Chains A and B, each alone.
Chain A
């Protein structure tokens, strides 16, 4: 390769990157600071249809090109000259790539300013290469700036890479906004956002098609969301500079960061087991400066080393406690991590785990959870959910909350707002049932007033939604009477000696079961804590310990339910379901009927033959197969597709996984049946997806999966889980629609439009014509994965998920499979 021969006044190029050694026109392009009249700069890459939006009005948008150009090294710059001496081309390989970044300019040029260069830009835009061309075209040099003037949009600008501190990459969200980037300079200036109108940009469209051909996989952990123009720019930058993502600001990327920058932005602290290991061994710092030079900051070498290291760690049985201690004392760690390490939870966890691999996996996840919780003050908006819906399943991005126009809708419903839903004189609901449910689904009910007392009775079916205040009063009256009657019935049963031996035996057993379970249900809640009255039954195993009035009420309630539903009777887990309802109502009769309403839908969980639980686990199996085939395959390999590890979550609706107040919020959300009467399965999927990478990477057996999932208890962040579940539901709904359309399936009424539909007539085929804008998007998305969609089938179990009808059992089924004493 010929070296530049005739570069008269200038020193040799300070670095020899892989393309400029092949260059033989070195002398002909200009150092643009000096002149505008010289021949030009090398155009390495360009992308069209990149807009500046100077005002809110679309008509002011200015279309242009973003480009990376290389200028000739600046002459007479002492600084540069020195660097040229210390880094002669002979030794400058890839490692020196950042050194020539003052020669590289990231530019934006309005289409109108291109003049003669227009064709060259268009050509560079359409070049489908991953690396710069061997013979880049020369174009007129754009003016260099490190600040931007007041009038944006009309003038081109370009910034030396060496002056760029960071770039904010905001991926697009279809139907909402264009993807954009914002360049921040080292002097602290921000350039106007550049918007990528991907749908107008032929090169982006081509790239998308190519990528979709290559790998369409919703579970793919590599690609991320939909390809957009910003991804290309990222690629250019990564070819020439070190680009690292900030851990604190996931959309922020630092360009050639210094070590201080890295620390400030918590680079490479995304909790992977690699990072965790680095931290454990206290060599985080050294490692990251080495990594800096590599293309992939979470380096390949580390990946290879991981298993050896983990294996070594696992030989040391005292590993967990000792290292946890060391980590807690390591001053290089960010405060949240240190705090976390000192929490009792982590401490006890480290006592228990003898497997380093599991321990690391769990620890990494708990850091992620902690981060999510620390961000938790934010309110999830519909926009966020759309974001999630569009983004890759495995690593949901938490995006900067921008203008939150929908924020109000997500505030909890207060008693005052609740009352405003009703007519002041009749007490009849003036909104639609669906409107109210939407509010509760997204906002929840306030925990600071008594709104739950009343609202839950609607959600649990004790009150009719269309009832008047008087009707409700009458209803509660008669329900109180009925409760007293039922309570008296079992009371007499236990006092008298009537009934068959079998019946008596059953009652005795049930009573003991209830006794034992109530005394170990939610005792950490102040209401149920402590014993301040003597136990009424001296033969009870709790006679010595004593009891309290709320425990006694709970027992009476469960025995009354045992009387009310003798076909099923009390089954373990029911006390968990009753406690929140009782605590909210604190009125035994009212709580009882609320519980009955809840049990109507939960009965199937408790059948003797477990058929209801099987059905739900099977549905979860199908759902995972559809939404995340990659994870499903992995679970299959681990013999875990019985999804038994979700048994507890499904049986008592995550009661053991979330904190008390989160449960109240979660249950009222689920009770709305806003999207689906089986939305709890999407909550389960959301939890699974959150942990998919850990499961894929680290868990190697059924027992490990079970343990890992069990241990999530108390660590799951609810708001983000709800948002993720909603995104998953909508993704599911779109997939079903798309598959149905493809199979020419007579379209089912979707959840959103449950209008009675006219019977499909032959002339009015439902394919195509009726598609609304939104449906078309879904169809497009589906078409993208058409090849893959082929063998996908929507099982009846999955189709059921689109229904809002509560899955209640027939009385007959309960009688046959309930396992109670019968009536």
Chain B
């Protein structure tokens, strides 16, 4: 094995059900699109090795179920994330409105050391759909991202592979920066054990 430690970047993809999380991930990793992905249940991930500024890193992209009630059990894999991708459907205003709560929920569950600087990327997906159906303008989305501390924003089409590569390049770079900043912080616990009891506390309301 190489003497240098292999770098694993953990990326969490969040967003409402049906906005195209699974499709984006598959387009990026497998260069494939299928109209018939089933609704994601539980969680899954794909990995991809990429070069970021001459460094070989493995990206682990976590895909989750969109219906929020399924998030409570999945918090286990939020931990140790290096970047969070928030996806919405530009033709569905509800999915845009919920971005904020997805972001908040992530910060609560993942509890990164420095929430202010934790890297997010916002993707407005399904730009291939005819303009007449579009609900969220680029301007509005950009304003939102600006207000949240300058989150990078991309408009994508998983179906037609528009901007997917570019978006994930930024995701990888930001994740790597985050990962390296963690390395300088000796206080950051390596692993946080998860168990049933712990996750129980959050939600037995």
**Which A residues fall within an 8 A CB radius of B?**
311, 314-315, 317, 351-352, 354-355, 509, 512-513, 516-517, 520-521, 523-524, 541, 545, 571-573, 575-576, 606-611, 613-614, 617-618, 621, 639, 641-642, 644-645, 647-648, 651-652, 656, 702-703, 706-707, 710, 819
Q: Are B193 and A639 in contact (CB under 8 A)?
A: yes
B39 at interface by CB-CB < 8 Å = yes
Q: How far apart sit A685 and B38, CA to CA, in the bound complex (Å)?
A: 25
Which residues from chain A contact B35 at a C-beta distance below 8 Å?
Answer: 545
Q: Are B73 and A644 in contact (CB under 8 A)?
A: yes
Which residues from chain B contact A639 at a C-beta distance below 8 Å?
Answer: 76, 191, 193-195
Q: How far apart sit A136 and B49, CA to CA, in the bound complex (Å)?
A: 65
Q: How far apart sit A648 and B91, CA to CA, in the bound complex (Å)?
A: 29
B2 at interface by CB-CB < 8 Å = yes
B165-205 with Cβ < 8 A to chain A: 191, 193-196, 199-200, 203-205
B109 at interface by CB-CB < 8 Å = no
Q: How far apart sit A641 and B29, CA to CA, in the bound complex (Å)?
A: 29
Which residues from chain A contact B43 at a C-beta distance below 8 Å?
Answer: 644, 647, 706
Q: Are B2 and A614 in contact (CB under 8 A)?
A: no
Partner of A524, one of B36, B46, B77: B36
Which residues from chain B contact A572 at a C-beta distance below 8 Å?
Answer: 17, 39, 41, 65-67, 70
On whether A516 and B17 interact (CB within 8 A), knowing A572-B41, A642-B76, A644-B42, the answer reads yes
20 extra interface residue pairs, beta carbon distance < 8 Å, beyond A352-B46, A572-B39, A639-B195: A354-B47, A354-B49, A354-B58, A512-B18, A512-B92, A516-B39, A521-B39, A575-B39, A609-B72, A609-B205, A610-B70, A613-B73, A614-B199, A617-B73, A617-B196, A621-B196, A642-B199, A702-B76, A702-B194, A703-B45
The contact sample of 19 A-B pairs, CB cut-off 8 A, is A314-B1, A315-B1, A315-B2, A355-B47, A516-B39, A517-B39, A523-B36, A541-B91, A541-B129, A571-B67, A608-B69, A614-B73, A642-B73, A642-B76, A642-B199, A702-B77, A706-B44, A707-B44, A819-B69
Q: Are A618 and B196 in contact (CB under 8 A)?
A: yes
Shortest beta-carbon distance from B195 to chain A in Å: 6
Q: Are A703 and B77 in contact (CB under 8 A)?
A: yes
B94 at interface by CB-CB < 8 Å = yes
Shortest beta-carbon distance from A660 to chain B in Å: 13
Q: Are A352 and B67 in contact (CB under 8 A)?
A: no
Shortest beta-carbon distance from A607 to chain B in Å: 8
Q: How far apart sit A256 and B37, CA to CA, in the bound complex (Å)?
A: 53
Which residues from chain B contact A707 at a C-beta distance below 8 Å?
Answer: 44-45
- B16-56 vs A, Cβ < 8 Å mask (1 yes, 0 no): 01100000000001100001111101111111110000000
Which residues from chain A contact B92 at a C-beta distance below 8 Å?
Answer: 512, 541
B60 at interface by CB-CB < 8 Å = yes
Q: Are B203 and A610 in contact (CB under 8 A)?
A: yes
**Which B residues fall within an 8 A CB radius of A?**
1-2, 17-18, 29-30, 35-39, 41-49, 58, 60, 65-67, 69-70, 72-74, 76-77, 91-92, 94, 129, 133, 191, 193-196, 199-200, 203-205
Q: Are B204 and A609 in contact (CB under 8 A)?
A: yes
Partner of A656, one of B1, B38, B73, B199: B38
Q: Which of B48, B69, B129, B191 is packed against the most chain A CB atoms within 10 Å?
A: B69
Which residues from chain A contact B199 at a C-beta distance below 8 Å?
Answer: 614, 642
Q: Are A516 and B18 in contact (CB under 8 A)?
A: yes
Partner of B41, one of A317, A352, A641, A648: A648
Q: Are B58 and A614 in contact (CB under 8 A)?
A: no
Q: Are A641 and B195 in contact (CB under 8 A)?
A: yes
Which residues from chain A contact B94 at a C-beta distance below 8 Å?
Answer: 509, 512
Q: How far apart sit A819 and B67, CA to CA, in the bound complex (Å)?
A: 12
Which residues from chain B contact A524 at a C-beta distance below 8 Å?
Answer: 36
Q: Are A611 and B58 in contact (CB under 8 A)?
A: no
A312 to chain B: closest residue by CB: B1
Shortest beta-carbon distance from A546 to chain B in Å: 12
Partner of A521, one of B38, B46, B200: B38
Shortest beta-carbon distance from B14 to chain A in Å: 15
Q: How far apart sit A352 and B30, CA to CA, in the bound complex (Å)?
A: 8
Shortest beta-carbon distance from A96 to chain B in Å: 41
Shortest beta-carbon distance from A651 to chain B in Å: 6
Which residues from chain B contact A642 at a C-beta distance below 8 Å?
Answer: 73, 76, 194-196, 199
Q: Are B196 and A648 in contact (CB under 8 A)?
A: no
On whether A651 and B41 interact (CB within 8 A), knowing A351-B30, A642-B195, A702-B77, the answer reads yes
Which residues from chain A contact B91 at a C-beta distance below 8 Å?
Answer: 541
Q: How far apart sit A516 and B48, CA to CA, in the bound complex (Å)?
A: 28
Shortest beta-carbon distance from A570 to chain B in Å: 10
Which residues from chain A contact B72 at a C-beta distance below 8 Å?
Answer: 609-610
Partner of B42, one of A509, A611, A621, A651: A651
Which residues from chain A contact B76 at a C-beta distance below 8 Å?
Answer: 639, 642, 644, 702
Closest 4 CB pairs of A and B: A647-B42, A516-B18, A648-B42, A648-B41
Q: Are B49 and A610 in contact (CB under 8 A)?
A: no
A317 to chain B: closest residue by CB: B49
Which residues from chain A contact B41 at a C-beta distance below 8 Å?
Answer: 572-573, 576, 647-648, 651-652, 656
Which residues from chain A contact B193 at a C-beta distance below 8 Å?
Answer: 639
Q: Are A520 and B30 in contact (CB under 8 A)?
A: no
Which residues from chain B contact A517 at a C-beta distance below 8 Å?
Answer: 17-18, 39
Partner of B73, one of A355, A647, A702, A703: A647
Shortest beta-carbon distance from A543 to chain B in Å: 9
Shortest beta-carbon distance from A633 to chain B in Å: 14
Shortest beta-carbon distance from B174 to chain A in Å: 21
Q: How far apart sit A523 and B67, CA to CA, in the bound complex (Å)?
A: 21
Q: How far apart sit A572 and B37, CA to CA, in the bound complex (Å)?
A: 14
Q: How far apart sit A545 and B193, CA to CA, in the bound complex (Å)?
A: 46
Which residues from chain A contact B60 at a C-beta distance below 8 Å?
Answer: 703
Q: How far apart sit A351 and B46, CA to CA, in the bound complex (Å)?
A: 11
Which residues from chain B contact A652 at a C-beta distance below 8 Å?
Answer: 41
Which residues from chain A contact B36 at a C-beta distance below 8 Å?
Answer: 520, 523-524
